[in-house]
Amino acid sequence: MAEVTYLEALRQGLWEEMERDPRVFILGEDVGAYGGAFKVTDGFAKQFGEERVIDTPISEAAIVGAAAGAAHMGMRPVAEMQFIDFISCAYDMLTNYVATARYRAGLATPMVVRGPCGGYVRGGPFHSQNPEAAFFHTPGLKIVYPATARDAKGLIKASIRDDDPVIYLEHKWLYRRIKEQLPEGEDLLTPIGEARLAREGKDLSIVTYGATVWKALEAAEQLAKDDGLSVEVLDLRTLLPMDDAAIMRTVEKTNKVLIVHEDTRTGGVAGEIAARINEQAFAWLDGPIMRVTAHDVPLPYAPTLEDFVLPQTDDIVKAARWLAAY
C-alpha cells in the first residue's frame, strides 16, 4: 500500500494502461514534453515516446475528431482538454460525430476525453466549469466523475477499456487535496455505471458526485455531531449511465433526498435525478426532493463571489437540517 493523491492515482491509471495496451495513446495541448498543465502526463513522453504522447495545436475539435478517427481504426486514444472548459470547442465533434457513430453507422469509437473541472480554486468563468449537463443529454456518450483517488485510477482504466466514448471528468480541487492508500500491483478497476455508498446513514440521503462528495461527507459528520442525524452519502461516480438502483436503494432506506452538485442548477443533473426518483420511488418519499447546487451564474473570480455562488459545506448542513425536520 502506498499513499497517493487523486492526481497521482489518475496518472498511475493512465501509465498502467499505456504499458498494458499499445493501442492506447494520448493527445492534447502541452501533454508531451511539458507533461500537461497540471502534470498529469509528466514523464509520459520520455517513457512512451512522442508518437504516443502527442502535443497538438490549440484545436479541441481536431483533437477529439482525430481521436475518433483513430478509435475507428482500433486505437484507444485518450484526449486531454487542458481545462475542461474548452471541451465546448469540441461540442459538435463529440455530440454529433462521436456520440452517434455506433448508432448511425455501427462504428466503434472507444476513446476517452478527459480534463480538469470544477471550481473552489479562484479560476474564474473559464477555468472552473463543470460541463456534465451539456453532455448528459447526449445518447451515446458515457460520463464518469471520480471523487476519490481509488476511483480516479479505477475509472480512467475502465474508461480506456470501455468500447464506447467516455468523458472522464476530474476535479482539479481534488488533485492534490485527496490522498488515499492504494494497493500496489493490483489491477484496480471501477466499473462504469456503479455508484458508491460513501457513508451509511438512516435519516436522510445525499446524492452527489465529484468534489461535493467531500463537502457532503463533511456536512454529514457535522450533522451527526451537532444534531445526532444519521446521513447517508451516495457518490454517483458515473453520471451516464446513471445507477438508478443505487439511488432508489438509498431513497427506500432514508425516505428523504438532498441532491448536491457543484454545477449550476437549471438543466443540471440534479433535476434528472429528482425526476427519476419521482418516477421510480415516489411512494417511498417522506419529503420533497431538494437541491443544493451552484447559483445560475457564470462562475466569478473574486473569492467572496465564488464562495457565494458555489455550494458550501454549511449550505449542505442547513439544507439537510431543513429536510430532516420536514
Partner 1 sequence: MPSRAAPTTQSPPVPAGLTRDQLLDMYRYLRLTRTLEERLVALYRQSKVIGGLFRSLGQEGESVASAYALDRGRNRDVLSPLIRNLGSMLVMGAQPIQILRQYMAKAESPTRGRELNVHFNDLERGYLGQISHLGDMVPVMAGIALTFKLRGEPRVGLVYIGDGATSTGTFHEGLNFAAVQRVPLVVIVEYNRWAYSTPPEKQFAVKDLAEKAKGYGVPGVTVDGNDVLAVYEATRFAAERARGGHGVHVIEVKTYRRTGHAEHDDQHYVPKDELDWWAKQNDPVDRYVKRLLQSEWVEERELQAIDERTRAEIDQATDACIDEPLPPGDSALEGVYANPPALTPHWYRTL
- Which sequence positions are flagged as catalytic? 127
Closer Cβ to partner 1, 144 or 310, answer by number: 144
Closer Cβ to partner 1, 258 or 277, answer by number: 277
Smallest distance from partner 1 to CB 273, Å: 18
Determine how many CB atoms are found less than 10 A away from the CB of residue 312.
17
- Decide: is 151 part of the binding site for partner 1 (CB under 8 A): no
Closer Cβ to partner 1, 197 or 274, answer by number: 274
Closer Cβ to partner 1, 111 or 294, answer by number: 111
- Helix pair 269-281, 244-254: axis angle to 10 deg: 70
- Please name the helix (run of DSSP H) or strand (run of DSSP E) that holds residue 206, with its range, or none: strand 204-208
Which alpha helices (DSSP H) does 146-243 contain, by range?
Answer: 149-161, 212-227
With H, G, I as helix, E, B as strand and everything else as coil, classify residue 128: coil
Closer Cβ to partner 1, 43 or 241, answer by number: 241
| Interacting residue with partner 1 among 163, 200, 286, 296 (CB under 8 A) | 163
Binding mask 48-77 for partner 1 (x = CB under 8 A): ---xx-x-xx-xxxxxxxxxxxxxxxxx-x
Closest CA to 194 of 249, 157, 246, 150: 246
At 167, phi and psi to the nearest 5? -95, 120
| Interacting residue with partner 1 among 6, 97, 136, 209 (CB under 8 A) | 97
Closest CA to 165 of 87, 98, 95: 98
8 A C-beta contact, residue 81 and residue 87? yes
| Interacting residue with partner 1 among 21, 33, 46, 96 (CB under 8 A) | 96
Smallest distance from partner 1 to CB 141, Å: 9
| Interacting residue with partner 1 among 1, 139, 228, 266 (CB under 8 A) | 139
Closest CA to 112 of 210, 212, 236, 21: 21
- Decide: is 105 part of the binding site for partner 1 (CB under 8 A): yes
CA distances from 51 to 23, 75, 112 (A): 12, 13, 18
Determine how many CB atoms are found less than 10 A away from the CB of residue 176.
12
Smallest distance from partner 1 to CB 136, Å: 14
Closest CA to 59 of 87, 38, 31, 36: 87
Residues from 263 through 302 that contact partner 1 (CB under 8 A): 279
Closer Cβ to partner 1, 77 or 146, answer by number: 77
Number of residues that bind partner 1 (CB under 8 A): 44
Cell of 263: 454545477
Smallest distance from partner 1 to CB 58, Å: 9
Smallest distance from partner 1 to CB 196, Å: 20
Q: Which residues bind partner 1 (CB under 8 A)?
A: 25, 51-52, 54, 56-57, 59-75, 77, 92-93, 96-97, 100, 102-108, 139-140, 142, 162-164, 241, 279
